[in-house]
Amino acid sequence: MPESPKACWSCGAARAPLEALCPSCGKVQPPPPPEGVVDKFATMGLSRSYDLDERALEDTFRSLSRKLHPDRFARATPRERRFSLEQTTLLNDAYRTLRDPVKRAEHLLALRGVKVAGEERGGAAAMPQEFLEQALEDREKLLEAKTEGGPEAVARLAEGVRGKRREAMEEIARALREERPTQAQLEQASQLLARLRYYARYLDEVEGREAEI
């Protein structure tokens, strides 16, 4: 039997498609049919914003988990158990995205229809040439530092990249805080997010080195 996104399957009361529990009888509801990009802010009952209070986000996650988690539905009907599984899956996914500033920024862009540069095939080719050249140079320096420079040299390089990452993050945040960002601002943010991936990979490699020591 198809479930309506507008009415509770159990008591028939009207509900909003995003409400996980029926406002009238409290039964768990099926998640909304997937259409385009799922608004993960809405999944957690939040409005779209780059600036989130981490503590409040955590509290929201915990209180929603308490209501929706499959452990709460072990005695329920198979249908409710399935809805609980689906709702909790969506909730976990939303929380994973929103608590990470980079993923949160990517999601905000996705909600505005902007893809992060470099996601599609041939994406690296879309990166500016100076950046790719700089990237190659950075990596060569890292390899050199690893073989010859020792831990201090590696740490210095990592600090440099961390600085770049911080700056990029701040700029992305500025663009996403704009009430009405221009397409150019969004494109710029998307470019910067693509760079962040490179920085993250670079720092992973540094940490791999640190773990070896």
* Residue with Cβ nearer another protein (81 or 174): 81
- CB under 8 Å to 210, separation ≥6 — which residues? 151, 154
Quote the CA–CA distance of 88 and 66 in Å, as a whole number. 10
Quote the CA–CA distance of 65 and 2 in Å, as a whole number. 25
* Residue with Cβ nearer another protein (144 or 207): 207
For the bound state, the minimum distance from the C-beta of residue 180 to another protein, rounded and expressed in Å, comes to: 29
Interface with another protein in residues 54-93 (CB under 8 A): 58, 62, 65-66, 69-72, 74-75, 77-79, 81-82, 85-86, 88-89, 92-93
Select the span of 31-39, 158-166, 167-175, 183-191 touching another protein (CB under 8 A).
31-39
CB 90 within 8 A of CB 31: yes
Quote the CA–CA distance of 18 and 64 in Å, as a whole number. 13
DSSP 8-state class, residue 51: -
For the bound state, the minimum distance from the C-beta of residue 58 to another protein, rounded and expressed in Å, comes to: 8
Interface with another protein in residues 91-130 (CB under 8 A): 92-93, 95-96, 118-125, 127, 129
Ordered DSSP codes for 149-191: IHHHHHHHHHHHHHHHHHHHHHHHHHHHH-SS--HHHHHHHHH
Report the residue from 156, 166, 177, 201 that binds another protein according to the rule CB under 8 A: 201
DSSP 8-state class, residue 16: -
Interaction site with another protein (CB under 8 A)? 30-31, 33-34, 58, 62, 65-66, 69-72, 74-75, 77-79, 81-82, 85-86, 88-89, 92-93, 95-96, 118-125, 127, 129, 132-133, 135-136, 139, 194, 197-198, 201, 205, 207, 211
